[in-house]
Structure 1
Amino acid sequence: MTLIPAEEKRGYQLELLIVFSMTLGLSGLRSLVRLIDSLLQPTPLNQQSVAINVPQARADLLDLVAQLLGVLQLAAWGGIGLYLLWRTGIKLRVIGLDGTRKLADSLGALGLAAIIGIPGLGLYFAAWALGLNLAVQPSTLDNQWWMSVALILAAAGNAWAEEVLVVGYLITRLQQLGWRQYTALFAAAVLRGSYHLYQGFGGFVGNVVMGLVFGFYWQRTKRLWPLVIAHTILDVVAFIGYTMLRGKVSWLP
């Protein structure tokens, strides 16, 4: 990977600051504030709850429009990262967003989803039982006709924004700035954990681990599609699965 000339480094550092102050870095700070607020409450963390996908408007169609606008924002966040990389000569194939390895990317995605999904679920329940995590409600949307489609799109939007920005864009830029490979990997993983702090300490640790695994996979393969697809699968299972099981099983917080 070509290093950025010393005289241009400040401009790229400013670019990173601007991008993440508008996107996931700001989300991380807000998430930290929400966690501190939860810790200051007299109620233990595991007796508090937090919802991810919530109604945005009282009118049914307005709620749908608001949900879709949220997906559009996530798509734009990922687009910002891709555009800035493209402007500096880094094409889609360099970070692994081309369509040349569809089967291998799909198999890699399934493997990543299995590696992260099952242990991640166990970590969540353990952290919740120990009082280190809030009860996370992946969706509180009612049974509108568009609910499943909106949740699938939200899952894809989350995956796109996070993997493009936190892996493809951030790790690339940090390594161009001269950061060591594993230092860049760790920084990206901590950022990923930071914007999940609103869920509690389990959410932070689980997403740091996910960031390390996903980032390491990308550094070794330079294929980003498996990360996007795996992340989408994980979120679809969480969002739709929770909606189907809510109120029907006793073990679900």
Structure 2
Amino acid sequence: MSLPPQRSSRGDRIELVVVLLAAWAWPITSELLELTSSGLERRIHFSNETLLGLVLYELVVGGALLLFLRARGKRVSVSQLDASWLATGEGVLLWAVAMMASWLGMALLAGTSRGQSVAFHGAPSPVIAILLVLVNPVFEECLHLGFLQERLRASGPGFAIGASLMVRLLLHAYQGPLAVAAIVPMGVVLGLHHWHTRRLWPAIVAHAIADALALATLRPAIES
């Protein structure tokens, strides 16, 4: 769902702000408030209710933004995702590269106290996990890359990719230091790939694989 580059106007700038606020103001604010109140030393539990709430939020907000952009005269269509078997295979390779970058980032953090400051727990049902893997990557990559990065393309790769990366980082602030060690390298890889290819589907596939593996490795919290 990439938007073609356009000359910036006052209306386009307002549109950019509206989309950013509608999509990310609430989740980023709530995550930062939680991080401020709880600190880095904490446990994060992914319950079925929490994950289902995220899926519903992204479906509602994503649908509303799609209607908003169409009303603004933007040619936005799901067909622009350009899904194909070839693009899916490209996405698997992109995931492998992104994971190597993330593992390198986490390796640099390994052995420090901050690297172990946040613990993740949960036992989501298969249905909820599948829903999240199907919805979340499409929602996030369409907005991070297809909308924000493309809208800022005229400002050059450094600014466009950097702005998209900053939003991605803020959105995952609840992960603490892991957001820097893992999310940033992956975001750079996905941003660079989309900058050169302008194809969204490989990034969505890579994101979906990462989400699926993260959910599959979650374990129930052990009560002390």
* TM-score (ref. length: structure 2): 0.80
Contact 2:98/2:190 (8 A) holds in 1: no
Among 44, 51, 54, the residue aligned to 1:70: 54
Aligned to 1:62: none
Judged with a 3 Å threshold, the aligned counterparts in structure 2 of structure 1 residues 103 and 162 are, in CA distance, closer, same or farther, namely same
Aligned to 2:215: 239
Q: Which amino acid aligns with 2:34?
A: R
Deviations 1:101-153 (A, max 9, x none): x122111110121122344246447546413253241x5236xxxx0121121
Q: Distance in 1 between matches of 2:109 and 2:140?
A: 23
Higher Rg: 1
Q: Distance in 2 between matches of 1:23 and 1:120?
A: 25
Contact 2:129/2:212 (8 A) holds in 1: yes
* Structure 1 counterpart SS, 2:189: helix
User: Which structure's relative contact order is higher, taking Cα pairs within 8 Å and 6+ residues apart?
Assistant: 2
Q: Which amino acid aligns with 1:229?
A: V
* Structure 2 counterpart SS, 1:74: helix
Aligned to 1:131: 113
* TM-score (ref. length: structure 1): 0.72
Judged with a 3 Å threshold, the aligned counterparts in structure 2 of structure 1 residues 186 and 229 are, in CA distance, closer, same or farther, namely same
Shift of 1:195: 1.2
- Any stretches of 5+ residues in structure 1 without a counterpart? 40-44, 57-65, 249-253
Q: Which amino acid aligns with 1:21?
A: L
Identical positions, percent: 25
What do you get for the CA RMSD once the two structures are aligned?
2.9
Shift of 1:240: 1.5
Aligned to 2:33: 33
Contact 1:74/1:160 (8 A) holds in 2: no
Shift of 1:80: 4.4
Q: Which amino acid aligns with 1:54?
A: S
Aligned to 2:47: 54
* Structure 1 counterpart SS, 2:44: strand
Count the aligned residue pairs: 217
Contact 2:5/2:150 (8 A) holds in 1: no
Aligned to 2:199: 223
Q: Distance in 1 between matches of 2:193 and 2:55?
A: 26
- Any stretches of 5+ residues in structure 2 without a counterpart? none
Contact 2:101/2:186 (8 A) holds in 1: no
